[in-house]
A = this chain, B = another copy of it.
Amino acid sequence: MSRSSKQKEAMLRILRRTTSHPSVDWIYEEVRREIPNISLGTIYRNLNMLKAEGAIIELSFGGAPTRYDGNCQPHYHFRCIKCGRVCDIDGQVNGDLDKRVAEDSGLEVLGHRLEFYGFCQDCGGCKESNAHPDR
């Protein structure tokens, strides 16, 4: 079905080697260093394909711009409300939660999203500044 392309391969490679949970724009800029005339539409199409194949994870929470994660192991995230940075949270994903909610509510629960928010190390001390808006 799905054919390979150097655009798709470059995107996946870039997503695999970063842990910064990049935005669409960041990915676009990064791929353009290899493939200068790549189209933004291709970025969006391939992100959706890779997501559908389960190769990457989409992080779209709380109205903030969507981020992508090349790490497919289930894990939670922290988002800095000052600079937007997204970090991984160590620790177990709670699978029992879904079961408990399903039993209590009668809903067919397939999963949950959990995101922590607050100030990251860089922003905690200086809540006024707005450094690193894209990390």
CB <8 Å contact, B121 and A106: yes
Which residues of the other chain, B, contact A98 by a CB distance below 8 angstroms? 116, 118
Which residues of the other chain, B, contact A119 by a CB distance below 8 angstroms? 107-108, 110
Chain A: interface residue count, which band? 35 or more
CB-nearest residue of chain B to A64: B60
A interface residues (Cβ-Cβ under 8 A, vs B): 58, 60-63, 66, 78, 81, 87, 89-91, 97-98, 101-102, 104-121, 124
- What 10 A-B pairs have minimum CB-CB distances, sorted nearest first? A110-B118, A60-B63, A108-B119, A109-B118, A112-B116, A108-B124, A108-B118, A114-B114, A113-B115, A109-B116
Q: Which of B66, B78, B121 contacts A101 (CB 8 A)?
A: B78
